[in-house]
Structure 1
Amino acid sequence: MRVSMADVAERAGVSAQTVSRVVNASPRVDPATRARVESAMADLGYRMHRAARALRTGQTSTIGLVVSTLASVGNSRMLQAISEAASARDYALAVVTVGDRGIHDAFARLRSQGVDGAVVLNEATELARDAPPPADLHLVVVDSPPDPRFSIVQTDHAGGARAATAHLLSLGHDTVHHVAGPAGSFAAVERERGWREALLDAGRAVPEPVRGDWTSASGHSAAAALGEATAVFVANDQMALGALRAFSDAGREVPGRVAVVGFDDIVDAAEYRPPLTTVRQDFDALGARAVASLVAAIEGGAPAAESVPTTLVVRASSAPG
């Protein structure tokens, strides 16, 4: 049996008009009443009829996600987090990838699906920054320098990199080498910045970073070029996996002769051999904040910027030099 607004109103002890205001995201409901109505909706299993709401409000309760690729672990984790956060707010999610036709085509495809706004993810953010933002599409960009045109949600990449580098230095290493990510990636640039600042603050030499492309194969190639480095901060866990294999191929025991720290704390990081010390990126919080920021923009809020902290997770791949 379909649950009606009247059923929700009776459960919450409010009028049907108040329930309608909550459903339509009206600001004319105090927070305590809104929470009571939303609790009643959840208890009764009430679901909005999207087509009816679209006719009433001009909004489809659908948001978009623009992404360059879903091949990387980080992007896949963000897709899952954003999908779950959107579902929790009773929004549908439309996903488009930026292909050969570029970011404008991606935005056009989202418009054709009637989305109320979109989250632009990671590598696609550089394309979004270089393009005039569509006037009819609210945007939240994940991982981007400050930009007054849209809301920004980002991980504290530099802070996590500083923590990783300081950890390795505290173990007695003279300096820390870096396997960096792609030059066009905001996350890679910020992680490299944090690593560099930590070394300069400690008065240590700053080796030339070796760059990869986020894949384990590129991490293997980069680490093989590091010579006799005794401590390495790798810009993501997938490249760190390749680095561990490169050191093993060269007969350089980890952590006995070289200590390794990654970034992301992907699901399998604790299963690497040895288990990988890494910087944990909170993908769930990042996705939830991105969706919350987008919904706020759709409802008339001003652009804002948020940063999600990271956590250093120490495992067996790092040890005293």
Structure 2
Amino acid sequence: MSESSGATPASRPARPARASSTDVARLAGVSQKTVSRVMNEEPHVKDDVRRRVLQAAAELGYRRNNAARTLLSGRSRRIGVVALGSALYGPSSLLVALERAAHSTGYALSLANTFEDDPAEVLSAVDALLEQGVDGVVISEPIDMGDVSFAVDVPVLSLGHFPGLRAPRLITVGEEEDNAAAGAVATEHLLSLGHRTVRHVAGPQRWWSARGRVDGWRRALKVAGAEERPYLEGDWTPESGYRAGQELARDRDLTAVFVGNDDMAIGVIRALHEAGLSTPGDVSVVGFDDIPSAAYLVPSLTTVAQEFDTMARNGLTRLVRVIENPADEGPGDDTSTPRLVIRSSTAAPSR
């Protein structure tokens, strides 16, 4: 899926286990049933007892376990989604695909957005969803948040890479290796056309997907015995692709470029054109994502398609199966086969 590298966020220690209603009852000197009555705002509880319970809950950081309550009365049939608040094509398309896939599962989605420059947002978002009593959580967090370790007490579907996450059942879809395989396919296509090497315009390296695509590009070059030149790093925008294209245009040996997403590829092609280099006559270009406009550019863009609908459908189906039958082992982690869409922006080298 497709902003610039920054400092690694400070390490965050694993959080202690949450206080229970029993802990609150012990500290307040009341029964667990009284704690439940106070938390449910039931009448006929003495004011001083209510104050003691609320004070004890505040001191312990107690939170009602709505998830457990819904399981007692029947599942909430609601899944929480933690997603990066972004208008970028990858994250926004995956979110739409999740909403579409949820209809077939019979579960509703609750969304909590996060922001790129605040690692604590993920933890707060998960807490907010658990407070709603969701049966499971989907984490669609594409950025390396640093040394963040935390546990979730319901099944989790992780769409990507999130080290430090623990859950009773953890399903992963769309790992870094999938992006590496896709990056290799894009690079191999250009090499198969006869290009001696392939330059790369990468996405921001805080993003797991961008790192995977760099790894795949390197892997394909190494297998082919082709020279690896330094990659350029963009921020997923056409503007950053344009700046990278201006730098690439000064490379007299340039004949092929693999770009980390289609928006940056658009900027690269524009810069090459302004430098007097045609695509694909002088320089072949491959993008990534297969955005809706890719087929209608001039030239139409060869790109690697992301199968968001398939990823969302398979992932949610597996998550629901685990929610409804915790003993179900199910299949292993999903891997996807990259799909290269060949159009007019790639051709054999003319020089």
Normalised to the residue count of structure 2, the TM-score between the two structures is: 0.71
Does structure 1 residue 298 correspond to structure 2 residue 323? yes
Query: Contact conserved, 1:122 with 1:186, CA < 8 A, in 2?
Result: no
Q: Decide whether aligned partners of structure 1 residues 217 and 302 sit closer, same or farther in structure 2, where only a CA change above 3 A counts.
A: farther
Query: Contact conserved, 2:150 with 2:164, CA < 8 A, in 1?
Result: no
The match for 2:79 is 63
Q: Which runs of at least 4 in structure 1 moved beyond 6 Å after TM superposition? A: 145-148
The match for 2:269 is 244
Among all aligned residue pairs of Structure 1 and Structure 2, give the percentage whose two residues are the same amino acid.
40
Does structure 1 residue 111 correspond to structure 2 residue 138? no
Find the aligned partners of 2:80 and 2:134 in 1 and give their Cα distance. 6
When structure 1 is superposed on structure 2, of 162-171 and 293-302 the one drifting more is 293-302
For 1:203, give the aligned amino acid: G
Query: What's the CA shift for 1:320?
Result: 0.8
The match for 1:151 is 171
Query: What's the CA shift for 1:249?
Result: 2.0
Matches within 5 A, 1:9-24: none
Query: Contact conserved, 2:70 with 2:133, CA < 8 A, in 1?
Result: no
Query: Contact conserved, 1:122 with 1:187, CA < 8 A, in 2?
Result: no
Query: What's the CA shift for 1:152?
Result: 0.5
Does structure 1 residue 181 correspond to structure 2 residue 203? yes
The match for 1:123 is 142
The match for 1:138 is 155
Q: Decide whether aligned partners of structure 1 residues 302 and 186 sit closer, same or farther in structure 2, where only a CA change above 3 A counts.
A: farther
Gaps of 5+ in 2: 1-68
Choose the corresponding residue for 1:260, options 285, 304, 314: 285
Find the aligned partners of 2:242 and 2:230 in 1 and give their Cα distance. 17
Find the aligned partners of 2:310 and 2:147 in 1 and give their Cα distance. 23
Query: What's the CA shift for 1:302?
Result: 4.8
Choose the corresponding residue for 2:89, options 61, 73, 77: 73
Over aligned residue pairs, what C-alpha RMSD do you find? 2.2
Choose the corresponding residue for 2:224, options 202, 214, 219: 202
How many residues end up aligned between the 2 structures?
A: 267
For 1:83, give the aligned amino acid: E
For 1:280, give the aligned amino acid: A
Q: Secondary structure at the match of 1:144?
A: coil
Find the aligned partners of 2:229 and 2:141 in 1 and give their Cα distance. 27
Find the aligned partners of 1:147 and 1:131 in 2 and give their Cα distance. 4
Normalised to the residue count of structure 1, the TM-score between the two structures is: 0.77
Does structure 1 residue 225 correspond to structure 2 residue 238? no
Query: What's the CA shift for 1:122?
Result: 3.9
Query: What's the CA shift for 1:232?
Result: 0.3
Find the aligned partners of 1:173 and 1:93 in 2 and give their Cα distance. 47
Residues 261-294 of structure 1, C-alpha deviations (whole Å, 9 max, x = no match): 0111121110122100001111110111221222
When structure 1 is superposed on structure 2, of 174-183 and 221-230 the one drifting more is 221-230
Find the aligned partners of 2:150 and 2:136 in 1 and give their Cα distance. 15
Query: What's the CA shift for 1:146?
Result: 7.8
Find the aligned partners of 2:233 and 2:145 in 1 and give their Cα distance. 21
Query: What's the CA shift for 1:237?
Result: 1.0
Q: Decide whether aligned partners of structure 1 residues 218 and 308 sit closer, same or farther in structure 2, where only a CA change above 3 A counts.
A: same
The match for 2:35 is none
Q: Secondary structure at the match of 1:320?
A: coil
Find the aligned partners of 1:219 and 1:82 in 2 and give their Cα distance. 29
Does structure 1 residue 283 correspond to structure 2 residue 308? yes
Does structure 1 residue 215 correspond to structure 2 residue 232? no
Q: Decide whether aligned partners of structure 1 residues 112 and 56 sit closer, same or farther in structure 2, where only a CA change above 3 A counts.
A: closer
For 1:121, give the aligned amino acid: S
Query: Contact conserved, 2:138 with 2:157, CA < 8 A, in 1?
Result: yes
Find the aligned partners of 1:98 and 1:108 in 2 and give their Cα distance. 12
Gaps of 5+ in 1: 1-52
Choose the corresponding residue for 1:90, options 92, 106, 119: 106
Query: What's the CA shift for 1:219?
Result: 1.3
Find the aligned partners of 1:80 and 1:145 in 2 and give their Cα distance. 21
